[in-house]
Every structure is written in C-alpha cells, then in structure tokens.
Amino acid sequence: MPQMYSTASAKQGRLHGVYSAPYGRVALNALNPRLQTARKYPSAFRQPSKKVCSCKENGHRVDGGGPDASPMQESAHTVADARKVHDEDALTAVVEFLSAFVLFLVIVSAFLALSQLKLGSNVAEADRFDQMAIDGLEKLTDSKGHVVLKQGGIRDIANATDDWHVYNASVLLTADLLPAIGDGVGHLDMQRISALGNVTEDRLIHGLGIEEGLNLNLTITVVQTENESRLGTEIFSDGTSRSSATRGSTASRTMYLDNEMVRVTLEVHNAGREPAGLRITEFMADPLNGPPEWVELENPDGFAMNLSGWSLASPGAFQMIGHSALGAGQRIICTGNALTQFNPENAMIVDFGASGVLGTGSIDLLAAEGDSVTLGWTRAGTILTYDVSTISWDDSWDIQANHSMVYNYGGTPNSATNWTAVDMGTPGW
C-alpha cells in the first residue's frame, strides 16, 4: 500500500521535490511517481545537493564529500581521513618515544652523578695517548719483529729478517727496527725479551709508532707460576719515569712465557728525557811500565744507551765518547791508548789519548795523589752539558801504583770508603 503524506509534507514536496523515507525504504515523489529514491539514511528531510563556489561563504565542501556524495567519493574521503589519523598516530608515537628516551638519559645522568662514575675522557689529548699505548703494546707482543740493516746509510732490504735479537746495540741503533717480543704463535719469546737490552728507548719508541719526543716505560712481571717464589718477579723493567709527566696512558696484556703467565705493561707519557744511568765504575790513575790510564763506564739500565751526547772530562780536557750504543749491563773502557789497553772481556773501547783527558806510557795526565774525572751529558740540539757525576780523590785515598779503584755501589762516589783497590784492575768486567 502506498505511503500516505500529510498536506504539509505534500507542500514541502512541491517546494523541494524530495522526500525522506525510513532507513531502507522507498520514498515516493507525490508530484511525479516516477521519481523515487532508495535512501540509506534514517527519515529526515533533506535539502537538494548544491555545488558551491566559495567554501568561505557557506562552509560547504567541494571535495566530493557531503550527504549527496557518491559511494566512490565517500570511500576516497574515508581513506584520506584514515591516512590522516594514521599519520597523526605515528607522529604521536615518535614524540612519545623521544620524550621517554630523554627521560631515560636524564635518569642515567643523575645515577652517574650520584655514584661518581665516568663514561671516559672526552679530552682528545688523552684519547691520543690511549691509542698510542694500545697500538704500541699490540705491535710489541703480536709478532717476532723485524730488522732492516743499513750499509753505508742504505737500507739492505734484501737481507731483512725477523731475527733482530741476534744483533748488538750499535748495529740496531742505526737499523730500521721493530723490536717485538712475540714468538709468532701467541706466546712471548725470552730471547727477544733479553734482546731489549740492545735496543735504546728511542729506537723502541720509533719502532712501535709512538710519537717522537714522548717517553715510555715497559714492565714484564710474572703473575702466575707453579714456583711461588717467582710470583711478582720483574723479568724486564726500564724506561723513563713519569714523575714529571702531565699526560700519559697505560696498556697491559697477560700472555704466556714458557710455562708462566706474565703481564706486559706499556706506559706512554710526556715526562721528557733525562740523562740515563751511565756511571763510572772503575778507574786506573797510576799504571806502571807504560800501560795507559783508563776509566770504565757501565750502563746499569734495562735498555741500551745511545752514547751520543756523553762525554768524559778531566781538569783542562774534554772529549765526547762517541756515536755508538752500549747495551744493558755492558761496560765501555775510555783509555789513553786503545792499542795497548788491557781488555780481557773484549769490551767496547774508546781512545781518549789525543784529547788529553787520559795519558799513556810516561805521560801521566791523572795524578794518583789527587785529581778528578767528570762524566757529562749534552742534550741534543743544545750546547749545555750536565755534569752527571764527578769522581774526586786526594792523597787520603792512598791510591797505589798499578792499582785500580772499583766502586762498591753504595753511598757517595767521592768517599774513599766506597771504593776498593784492585791490583792490575778489572777493565770491562
């Protein structure tokens, strides 16, 4: 049965030409029964859809939305709205994550401040020293090392070898050298550790890639062994003290040496180079029957010593020792005549006869009744010589002819009680 309409509804229909029907029903146009629409909206009076030109004037949409939009337009509009909501949700999630991360950093910073912990130095200079110490320790322990000798100042690359430890201090002083102490299979080699005594600190610094002008200190200590008496034994220890350093860094590594575990510690710092421990250990002031006067010097350090810059002087005379190197624990004889010098241990000899520091034969330049000798050191690039040690004696020492005086390694060297007279002497040993 057709839907009945009131007069008011018919009137509105004549005015507007559109009627609403309940959801899902068919609305009949009273003026023209052929015009009918199936609406999906609840019963309500609807104005005809109009296209508007100005959105600002009446607020109507021109993007296909509205109650009279087609299903395709409404679907596109719904997708756009969904994308907008998704973008807003994503932005909100990012903001919330960043806020939570900032809060986390604040909490961590507060914790570190309360517990007085540090994440590490942000000083570039400190980082530079750290890296040199770490890299230097790896180079020292990871391989056997190598050496390229020089002949007449030319590198003999064809004869390069990893057996650097078989050469003496003077040869290694001028060679291209990496004095590593590994055995090639992850352990340390005792022969190569012992051979560090033929390497100067400068050559080790250069070989490990540490910046020139800096200093190092190397220690190798037993930390695990079946022989408890050896626990803590220092197998090697030498280098420049860091007492006056303003910057430095230390790297350590534990490795096997034979059947023991040792810790290798390398420290790099900027304390500055001081004169090494070269010292006078024996002298002959009154030889008989023509032998020369002589003075014995010893290197008590763990590293070899570059003799450049070292000198020996007596009142009114002075001479540089030379440009060679003296190995750890070795001795050198400064003599008035190298050809006639008594040298049972085949020690290194330097002739001081021409300079007038030491005499030979009938020429006595050192007086047994009272005189002095001074060991000096001149820093490279300067003319200032430091008096490292001076041995002065007088007639109270009662030095006998053809007797040397041997230092007892204790107390001041200018006291006769710290020296022992030895017939003929023991030069070089």
Give, as one character, the DSSP assignment of residue 158: G
Amino acid at position 313, single letter: A
Q: Evaluate whether 262 touches 383 at the Cβ level (below 8 Å).
A: no
pLDDT in tens, 244-303: 899 999 999 999 999 999 999 999 999 987 777 899 999 999 998 889 999 999 999 999
Distances (CA, A) of 300 to 50, 196, 344, 419: 109, 14, 20, 18
Name the residue with tokens 């939009």: 69
pTM over 0.85: no
Q: Evaluate whether 37 touches 27 at the Cβ level (below 8 Å).
A: yes
Name the phi and psi angles at 5, rounded to 5. Answer: -125, 150
- What is the reported pLDDT for 73? 60
> Of all residues in the chain, what percent carry a pLDDT higher than 70?
78
* pLDDT for residue 29 is more than 60: no
Task: Count the alpha carbons within 13 Å of 47 in the hemisphere toward its beta carbon.
Answer: 5
- What is the reported pLDDT for 45? 46
Name the phi and psi angles at 314, rounded to 5. Answer: -125, 165
Two tokens, residue 105: 């950093």
How long is the chain? 429
Name the phi and psi angles at 53, rounded to 5. Answer: -100, -30
Distances (CA, A) of 191 to 137, 178, 257, 305, 306: 18, 15, 11, 19, 22
Q: Evaluate whether 115 touches 234 at the Cβ level (below 8 Å).
A: no
First to last CA, the chain: 139
Neighbour count for residue 143 (Cβ, 10 Å) = 15
183-185-186-192 Cα dihedral, nearest 10 degrees: 0
Q: Evaluate whether 136 touches 266 at the Cβ level (below 8 Å).
A: yes
Name the phi and psi angles at 8, rounded to 5. Answer: -65, -40
- What is the reported pLDDT for 230? 97
SS3 157: helix
**CA–CA separation, 63 and 228 (whole Å):** 92
Exposure string (b/e) for 144-154, b if CB count within 10 Å is 16 or more?
bbbbbbeeeee
pLDDT in tens, 237-255: 999 998 889 999 999 999 9
- Higher pLDDT, residue 123 or 272: 272
SS3 138: helix
**CA–CA separation, 146 and 66 (whole Å):** 87
- Higher pLDDT, residue 84 or 231: 231
Two tokens, residue 67: 């109650």
**Mean pLDDT score of the chain, rounded to an integer?**
84
Amino acid at position 212, single letter: E
* pLDDT for residue 171 is more than 50: yes
Two tokens, residue 201: 């600190």
Residue 322: name the closest of 332, 330, 313, 310 by CA: 310
* pLDDT for residue 64 is more than 80: no
- Higher pLDDT, residue 15 or 300: 300
SS3 269: strand
